[in-house]
Amino acid sequence: MAIPIIVQIRWRPNADESSIGCSRIGQAVAPNKTWQSHRGCSDDGHLQLGATDRVEDLPSTPGTYRVIEIDFSVFNDGRGYSLARQLRTQYQYAGELRATGDIRIDQADMLARCGFDTLELPADTDMAQLETAINAITVHYQADVQLGSGSVS
Amino acid sequence: MYIYNEPDRALLAQRTEQFAGQVNRYLAGELAEDEFQQLRLRNGLYMELNAPMLRVAIPYGLLSSGQLRALARVARTYDRGYGHFTTRQNIQFNWPKLEQVPQLLADLSQVEMHAIQTSGSVVRNITSDPLAGVAADEIEDPRPWCELLRQWSTLHPEFNWLPRKFKIAVTGARNDRAAVRFHDIGLQVVDEAGPNTVFRVWVGGGLGRSPFMGQVIHERLPGTQLLNYVEAILRIYNLEGRRDNKHKARIKILVNALGIDVFKVKVDSEWALIQKVQPGLSGEIVEQMRAHFVESRYDPSAPGKSGRLTFDCDRNADFARWVAHNTTLHRVPGYRIIYASLKAPGAAPGDLGAKGMEALAGFAERYSFGEIRVSHEQNLLLAHVREADLYDLWQGLRIHRLATPNIGTLTDMICCPGADYCSLAHASSLDVASMINQRFDDLDHLYDLGDISLKMSGCINACGHHHLGHIGILGVKKRDEHWYQLTLGGAPGNDGAIGKRLGPAFAADEIVEALEQVLRAYLAWRRPRERFIDTWRRLGNTPFKEAVYGDTHHRTDTLAA
């Protein structure tokens, strides 16, 4: 199987709504190369978390990692969205937050809104389709991690 | 009622277009089956036995006449001319074609309606008291809070992939008509709160295969913290709810596994962290929302004209009977709340044809400020009718078979669509409903039986809330045949209880006779003016069991499965 690509999300804020730009920034590291283990930290400051990991159990404060990856073993398991929100809002984690595993382009906007800024996607991802999907909804009721307040929270 | 502003309209237009794109990609073979299933469910679209089924949201059961007319057009254009109102105050269309659903939704978006989050593992339609804003026992109108919750939960980025569906109900009255104890989260405005709204919060209630009554997790939650607190509950549920078994994935299982005290500690600590970054709702937002629901069009001269009601009742016994059973007092003098019964003999409970919808929309415009409500009992209400107009309205309703004077009686039953429409169902429910209607067609007999709620589900998923009926009927499948279990003693409100199973199930040709035996036993044992539920509470299942099963040894032998 082709090695997945890494896509960077760029917010383009406007007055009332925001669009998102997507650009391919590289390839994913081949699996099992640098990771020590789940919850382990690799040499280059990457931390990998799975759905059952909890932010309060991290070996050191989130800010010490350059990249935190949250893995989705199956696309309809939503735990990673809450982990991302906790890291961004409660732990003020400012490094790179990457979504890996089974994620689909129709989920990209909500991943972004929860604070992910890079997505690991299949090598054959259609970038134009991704950009359409991620910008399908630009008006939001809720506060977003990057944008702050929505209309009700 | 809440009127959309520009961002509301923009969001709905974008969502409608997004879903149309997803349908088109699926039809073009660009979306995998498993992914499209999840995406369509988040927009109310099921693939059922005969065709797709689309569930359209009616937020907290409130409709404008224009919206009801639009539903009638949808029924005509995309369906077979009718819709089915559900126990969650929504409406379902059973016959749209998948390719037409995007256009159907585009039509509905013109009247600010949609199918967002009416199914799937997300926060579903917020339900409430059908008498909100008009009930005499109301502490505060719950609808502004419902609308705030609706907006907050709509396309919430964190909670689109929960372990399972999530239902929230809100009541602002002393008598709970929204079954808040039987929702994932139930909210009840607390009395003596002073100027600021305070909620009692219930969590972990639900029906289905393992019914639970909710438990109180917060006795006095300030309204300004409502969204933060609900967010804390949902985050704990999203992170810790079971995902290995869909039958154990509802929050009720988590709450009961941890125990309410441990669950509360987790929620409270999450809530504390959330409050550090999100202060809560401003009083200004709450006030703005309240302003949408203030009704000020009442006619001050209405009470003076109410003499006509007495006059009309005296000269027409049928009308008087309808007034007694299908109307209730409004808190504004000179007005009544009226129930249009969707339980006419021979009709499928909750079904209404396009003509009926349009007629009711017209009556709402003429008599009730153009507003219609859907009740959890699957009837429609006109909430603000002048007493002097009741006779004219009654005559109009009769033409459309919407005036069956059976509200609150046995034949005002709640019923899911059952195995005739639903691919989950084990047994037909509509056939049984029809047999019950035939057997109990004598109004005087129905009135003698008094207040009884009969609730029927075609399978253990309990869409018909059989656990909460004074009498519940549950369809089960045995040896490929439809069988029916009776439960007695359920109730949804302040006296909430989960019904108890009476005994072995009955075949389709036995269930109505069994029901009749239960009712005969009630008539034999009741004290003067004692309701069915009170007789049952006094005596329990035993005398009913004896009445129904008689020679129990014989029945056990033949029915053991």
Do B50 and B151 share a structural domain? no
Do B465 and B486 share a structural domain? yes
In a domain, A37, yes or no: yes
| Cα distance between residue B481 and residue A93, in whole Å | 58
In a domain, A10, yes or no: yes
The whole-number pLDDT of residue B542 equals 96
Please list every residue in chain A whose beta carbon sits closer than 8 Å to the beta carbon of residue B271: none
In a domain, B405, yes or no: no
| Average pLDDT value over all residues in chain A | 86
Nearest Cα residue in chain B from A78: B161
| Cα distance between residue B66 and residue A46, in whole Å | 56
Q: Hey, which residues does A120 pair with through a beta bridge?
A: A6
Q: Check CB contact of A146 with chain B, cutoff 8 Å.
A: no
In a domain, A142, yes or no: no
* DSSP annotation of A87: I
Q: Check CB contact of B260 with chain A, cutoff 8 Å.
A: no
In a domain, B88, yes or no: yes
Say how far residue B262 (Cα) sits from the centre of its chain. Answer: 31
* C-alpha closest to that of B544 among B472, B480, B455: B472
The whole-number pLDDT of residue A150 equals 66
Residues 26-65 of chain A whose Cβ lies under 8 A from any Cβ of chain B: 54
**Residue pairs spanning A and B at CB distance below 8 A:** 99
Do B246 and B155 share a structural domain? yes
Give the residue numbers spanning the domain of A43: 5-134
Q: Is B8 exposed, middle or buried (0-12, 13-18, 19+ CB in 10 A)?
A: middle
The structure tokens 């995007």 sit at B102
What CATH number did the domain enclosing B308 receive? 3.90.480.20
Query: Are the beta carbons of B238 and A89 separated by less than 8 Å?
Result: no
**CA B374 → CA A87, A104, B178, B458, B492, distances in Å?**
42, 37, 12, 22, 17
Q: Check CB contact of A143 with chain B, cutoff 8 Å.
A: yes
| Cα distance between residue A97 and residue A120, in whole Å | 11
Nearest Cα residue in chain A from B147: A152
Give the residue numbers spanning the domain of B214: 135-290
* Residue B316 to chain A, least CA–CA distance (Å): 52
Residue A94 has pLDDT above 80, yes or no: yes
For residue B355, give every residue at least 6 positions away whose Cβ sits within 8 Å of its Cβ, in sequence order, or none.
B72, B400
What CATH number did the domain enclosing B263 receive? 3.30.413.10
| Cα distance between residue B495 and residue B532, in whole Å | 14
The whole-number pLDDT of residue B82 equals 96
Q: Check CB contact of A71 with chain B, cutoff 8 Å.
A: no
Residue A37 has pLDDT above 50, yes or no: no
The whole-number pLDDT of residue B556 equals 45
In a domain, A35, yes or no: yes
CB A38 within 8 A of CB A21: no
Helices (H), B224-306: 226-240, 251-258, 260-277, 283-291, 302-305
In a domain, A153, yes or no: no
Give chain A's domain count: 1
The structure tokens 């539920």 sit at B533
In a domain, B219, yes or no: yes
pLDDT per position as a tens digit, B335-349: 999 999 999 998 899
**CA B227 → CA A140, B250, B273, B295, distances in Å?**
15, 20, 14, 26
Confidence of residue A15 (pLDDT cuts 50, 70, 90): low
Residues 6-65 of chain B whose Cβ lies under 8 A from any Cβ of chain A: 7, 10-11, 14-15, 17-18, 21-22, 35, 38-39
| Cα distance between residue B475 and residue B296, in whole Å | 46
Please list every residue in chain A whose beta carbon sits closer than 8 Å to the beta carbon of residue B18: 136-137
Do B555 and B459 share a structural domain? yes
| Cα distance between residue B355 and residue B351, in whole Å | 12
Please list every residue in chain B whose beta carbon sits closer than 8 Å to the beta carbon of residue A49: none
In a domain, A151, yes or no: no
Residue B286 identity? V
Please give the ipTM for the structure prediction. Answer: 0.93
Query: Are the beta carbons of B239 and A104 separated by less than 8 Å?
Result: no
More confident call, A114 vs B552: A114
In a domain, A149, yes or no: no
Query: Are the beta carbons of A110 and B160 separated by less than 8 Å?
Result: yes
In a domain, B130, yes or no: no
* Residue A104 to chain B, least CA–CA distance (Å): 8
Full pLDDT tens readout for chain B, 561 residues: 999 999 999 999 999 999 999 999 999 999 999 999 999 999 999 986 667 899 999 999 999 999 999 999 999 999 999 999 999 999 999 889 999 999 999 999 999 999 999 999 999 999 999 999 999 999 999 999 999 999 999 999 999 999 999 999 999 999 999 999 999 999 999 986 567 899 999 999 999 989 999 999 999 999 999 999 999 999 999 999 999 999 999 999 999 999 999 999 999 999 999 999 999 999 999 999 999 999 999 999 999 999 999 999 999 999 999 999 999 999 999 999 999 999 999 889 999 999 999 999 999 999 999 999 999 999 999 999 999 999 999 999 999 999 999 999 999 999 988 888 888 888 888 889 999 999 999 999 999 999 999 999 999 889 899 999 999 999 998 888 999 999 999 999 999 999 999 999 999 999 999 999 999 999 999 999 999 999 999 999 999 999 999 865 444 444 433
Please list every residue in chain B whose beta carbon sits closer than 8 Å to the beta carbon of residue A97: none
| Cα distance between residue A102 and residue B320, in whole Å | 64
CB B430 within 8 A of CB B420: yes
Tokens of A22: 């997507």
What radius of gyration, in Å, describes the C-alpha atoms of chain B? 23
In a domain, B297, yes or no: no
What CATH number did the domain enclosing A91 receive? 3.20.20
| Cα distance between residue B227 and residue B395, in whole Å | 45
Query: Are the beta carbons of B160 and A113 separated by less than 8 Å?
Result: no
Query: Are the beta carbons of B273 and A104 separated by less than 8 Å?
Result: no
- Tell whether the torsion through CA atoms of B536, B537, B542 and B545 is positive or negative: positive
Do B426 and B533 share a structural domain? yes
Give chain B's domain count: 4
| Cα distance between residue B158 and residue B529, in whole Å | 52
Please list every residue in chain B whose beta carbon sits closer than 8 Å to the beta carbon of residue A144: 157
**What proportion of chain A, given as a percentage, has pLDDT over 70?**
82
Q: How many CB atoms lie within 10 A of CB B320?
A: 16
Residues 148-177 of chain B whose Cβ lies under 8 A from any Cβ of chain A: 148, 151-152, 154-162
The whole-number pLDDT of residue B506 equals 96
Nearest Cα residue in chain B from A77: B161
Query: Are the beta carbons of A90 and B243 separated by less than 8 Å?
Result: no
Residue A131 has pLDDT above 90, yes or no: yes
Backbone angles phi, psi at B443, to 5 degrees: -60, -40
pLDDT per position as a tens digit, B105-116: 999 999 999 999
Do B224 and B171 share a structural domain? yes
In a domain, B23, yes or no: yes
In a domain, B122, yes or no: no
The domain boundary residue, chosen from B109, B124, B154 = B109
Query: Are the beta carbons of A89 and B148 separated by less than 8 Å?
Result: no
| Cα distance between residue B30 and residue B511, in whole Å | 49
In a domain, B115, yes or no: no
For residue B379, give every residue at least 6 positions away whose Cβ sits within 8 Å of its Cβ, in sequence order, or none.
B85, B339, B340, B341, B342, B343, B407, B412
Q: How many CB atoms lie within 10 A of CB B314?
A: 10
* Residue B131 to chain A, least CA–CA distance (Å): 26
The whole-number pLDDT of residue A146 equals 64
| Cα distance between residue B544 and residue B539, in whole Å | 9
Q: Hey, which residues does B272 pair with through a beta bridge?
A: none
**What is the residue-wise DSSP string for B95-106?**
---GGGHHHHHH
